[in-house]
Protein backbone atom coordinates (compact mmCIF):
# COMPACT_ATOMS: atom_id res chain seq x y z
CA UNK A 1 0.00 0.00 0.00
CA UNK A 2 1.10 3.52 -0.79
CA UNK A 3 -0.94 6.69 -0.66
CA UNK A 4 -0.82 10.45 -0.23
CA UNK A 5 -3.38 10.86 2.57
CA UNK A 6 -2.60 14.48 3.38
CA UNK A 7 -1.48 17.39 1.27
CA UNK A 8 -1.76 21.14 1.00
CA UNK A 9 -0.25 23.65 -1.40
CA UNK A 10 2.74 23.85 0.99
CA UNK A 11 3.42 20.28 2.04
CA UNK A 12 2.39 16.72 1.55
CA UNK A 13 2.69 13.27 3.01
CA UNK A 14 3.13 9.97 1.20
CA UNK A 15 2.79 6.76 3.19
CA UNK A 16 4.43 3.60 1.89
CA UNK A 17 4.33 0.20 3.57
CA UNK A 18 7.54 -1.76 3.59
CA UNK A 19 7.90 -4.89 1.48
CA UNK A 20 7.63 -6.87 4.73
CA UNK A 21 4.13 -5.50 5.38
CA UNK A 22 3.10 -5.68 1.73
CA UNK A 23 5.20 -8.06 -0.40
CA UNK A 24 3.99 -6.33 -3.60
CA UNK A 25 6.02 -3.31 -2.51
CA UNK A 26 9.13 -5.39 -3.11
CA UNK A 27 8.53 -4.92 -6.84
CA UNK A 28 10.72 -1.89 -7.47
CA UNK A 29 9.27 -1.01 -10.86
CA UNK A 30 5.76 -1.04 -9.39
CA UNK A 31 6.94 1.05 -6.45
CA UNK A 32 8.57 3.62 -8.75
CA UNK A 33 5.32 3.93 -10.70
CA UNK A 34 3.27 4.31 -7.51
CA UNK A 35 5.61 6.90 -6.02
CA UNK A 36 5.57 8.90 -9.28
CA UNK A 37 1.75 8.72 -9.19
CA UNK A 38 1.54 9.95 -5.59
CA UNK A 39 4.13 12.69 -6.16
CA UNK A 40 2.08 13.92 -9.08
CA UNK A 41 -0.96 14.24 -6.78
CA UNK A 42 1.16 16.42 -4.47
CA UNK A 43 2.30 18.53 -7.43
CA UNK A 44 -1.33 19.04 -8.50
CA UNK A 45 -2.22 20.16 -4.92
CA UNK A 46 0.67 22.63 -4.93
CA UNK A 47 -0.08 24.01 -8.40
CA UNK A 48 -3.84 24.36 -7.81
CA UNK A 49 -3.70 25.63 -4.21
CA UNK A 50 -5.68 22.59 -3.08
CA UNK A 51 -5.58 20.60 0.10
CA UNK A 52 -6.76 17.13 0.90
CA UNK A 53 -7.02 14.92 3.91
CA UNK A 54 -8.00 11.27 3.54
CA UNK A 55 -11.74 10.91 4.12
CA UNK A 56 -12.62 14.56 3.53
CA UNK A 57 -14.56 13.78 0.36
CA UNK A 58 -12.07 15.84 -1.67
CA UNK A 59 -13.96 18.99 -0.64
CA UNK A 60 -10.88 21.25 -0.91
CA UNK A 61 -9.57 19.79 -4.14
CA UNK A 62 -9.71 22.45 -6.85
CA UNK A 63 -9.06 20.01 -9.66
CA UNK A 64 -11.69 17.50 -10.73
CA UNK A 65 -10.83 13.98 -9.53
CA UNK A 66 -10.96 12.63 -13.10
CA UNK A 67 -8.23 15.08 -14.17
CA UNK A 68 -6.22 14.56 -10.97
CA UNK A 69 -6.18 10.76 -11.25
CA UNK A 70 -5.69 10.85 -15.00
CA UNK A 71 -2.63 13.11 -14.89
CA UNK A 72 -1.12 11.12 -11.99
CA UNK A 73 -1.50 7.90 -13.95
CA UNK A 74 -0.31 9.44 -17.21
CA UNK A 75 2.85 10.93 -15.67
CA UNK A 76 3.70 7.83 -13.66
CA UNK A 77 3.36 5.75 -16.82
CA UNK A 78 5.56 8.18 -18.76
CA UNK A 79 8.14 8.47 -16.01
CA UNK A 80 8.87 4.76 -15.79
CA UNK A 81 7.78 3.80 -19.31
CA UNK A 82 5.31 1.14 -18.19
CA UNK A 83 1.57 1.41 -17.81
CA UNK A 84 -0.28 0.38 -14.69
CA UNK A 85 -1.13 -3.30 -15.48
CA UNK A 86 -4.66 -2.94 -14.12
CA UNK A 87 -5.33 -0.55 -17.00
CA UNK A 88 -4.23 -3.03 -19.67
CA UNK A 89 -7.74 -4.42 -19.99
CA UNK A 90 -10.07 -2.76 -22.47
CA UNK A 91 -12.67 -1.26 -20.20
CA UNK A 92 -15.46 0.81 -21.64
CA UNK A 93 -15.08 4.41 -20.52
CA UNK A 94 -17.83 5.84 -18.33
CA UNK A 95 -19.64 8.52 -20.32
CA UNK A 96 -20.80 10.67 -17.40
CA UNK A 97 -17.74 12.38 -15.92
CA UNK A 98 -19.65 13.41 -12.77
CA UNK A 99 -20.05 9.69 -12.08
CA UNK A 100 -16.36 9.15 -12.76
CA UNK A 101 -15.51 11.75 -10.10
CA UNK A 102 -17.83 10.04 -7.61
CA UNK A 103 -16.52 6.53 -8.27
CA UNK A 104 -12.93 7.72 -7.87
CA UNK A 105 -13.79 9.03 -4.42
CA UNK A 106 -15.56 5.81 -3.41
CA UNK A 107 -12.95 3.23 -2.44
CA UNK A 108 -15.58 0.49 -2.19
CA UNK A 109 -17.09 1.06 -5.64
CA UNK A 110 -16.82 -1.80 -8.12
CA UNK A 111 -16.70 0.89 -10.83
CA UNK A 112 -13.56 2.51 -9.41
CA UNK A 113 -11.12 0.81 -11.82
CA UNK A 114 -13.35 1.68 -14.76
CA UNK A 115 -13.44 5.29 -13.52
CA UNK A 116 -9.66 5.21 -13.17
CA UNK A 117 -9.38 3.93 -16.74
CA UNK A 118 -11.75 6.62 -18.02
CA UNK A 119 -9.70 9.32 -16.26
CA UNK A 120 -6.50 8.08 -17.85
CA UNK A 121 -8.04 8.00 -21.33
CA UNK A 122 -9.54 11.46 -20.82
CA UNK A 123 -6.22 12.99 -19.79
CA UNK A 124 -4.39 11.24 -22.65
CA UNK A 125 -6.95 12.90 -24.92
CA UNK A 126 -6.43 16.37 -23.42
CA UNK A 127 -2.66 16.03 -23.61
CA UNK A 128 -2.88 15.03 -27.26
CA UNK A 129 -5.11 18.03 -27.95
CA UNK A 130 -3.45 20.69 -25.78
CA UNK A 131 0.04 19.44 -25.01
CA UNK A 132 1.19 18.39 -21.55
CA UNK A 133 2.22 21.82 -20.24
CA UNK A 134 -0.91 23.64 -21.41
CA UNK A 135 -3.10 20.88 -20.03
CA UNK A 136 -1.31 20.91 -16.67
CA UNK A 137 -1.60 24.70 -16.44
CA UNK A 138 -5.29 24.55 -17.42
CA UNK A 139 -6.43 21.85 -14.99
CA UNK A 140 -7.84 24.29 -12.42
CA UNK A 141 -9.60 26.41 -15.06
CA UNK A 142 -11.05 23.34 -16.73
CA UNK A 143 -12.26 22.09 -13.34
CA UNK A 144 -14.13 25.35 -12.64
CA UNK A 145 -16.33 24.87 -15.68
CA UNK A 146 -19.72 23.31 -15.13
CA UNK A 147 -18.82 20.71 -17.75
CA UNK A 148 -15.48 19.60 -19.10
CA UNK A 149 -15.17 20.69 -22.74
CA UNK A 150 -14.91 17.20 -24.15
CA UNK A 151 -17.32 17.35 -27.05
CA UNK A 152 -15.81 20.55 -28.40
CA UNK A 153 -12.53 18.67 -28.69
CA UNK A 154 -14.21 15.54 -30.01
CA UNK A 155 -13.50 13.24 -27.07
CA UNK A 156 -15.39 10.00 -27.29
CA UNK A 157 -15.93 7.78 -24.26
CA UNK A 158 -15.61 4.80 -26.57
CA UNK A 159 -12.16 3.20 -26.52
CA UNK A 160 -9.86 4.58 -29.21
CA UNK A 161 -7.01 2.30 -30.21
Q: How far is the CB of 38 from Zn ion (least distance, A)?
A: 7
Q: Which residues bind Zn ion (CB under 5 A)?
A: 69, 72
Q: How far is the CB of 5 from Zn ion (least distance, A)?
A: 11
- Cβ proximity to Zn ion: between 2 and 132 the closer is 2
How many residues are present in the chain? 161
For residue 148, CA distances in Å to 1, 5, 11 come to 31, 26, 28
- Cβ proximity to Zn ion: between 44 and 156 the closer is 44
Q: How far is the CB of 29 from Zn ion (least distance, A)?
A: 18
- Cβ proximity to Zn ion: between 115 and 148 the closer is 115
How far is it, in rounded angstroms, from Cα 160 to Cα 143? 24
104 exposed, middle or buried (CB, 10 Å; 0-12, 13-18, 19+)?
A: buried
- Cβ proximity to Zn ion: between 60 and 158 the closer is 60
Q: How far is the CB of 40 from Zn ion (least distance, A)?
A: 8
Angle at the Cα of 10 (from 149 to 105), degrees rounded to 5?
Answer: 45
Amino acid sequence: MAMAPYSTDKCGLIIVQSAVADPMNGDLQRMRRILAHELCHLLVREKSGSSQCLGDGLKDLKVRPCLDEGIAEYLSWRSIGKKNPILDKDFECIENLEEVDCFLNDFSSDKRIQAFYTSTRLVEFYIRELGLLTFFQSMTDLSERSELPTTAFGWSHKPVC
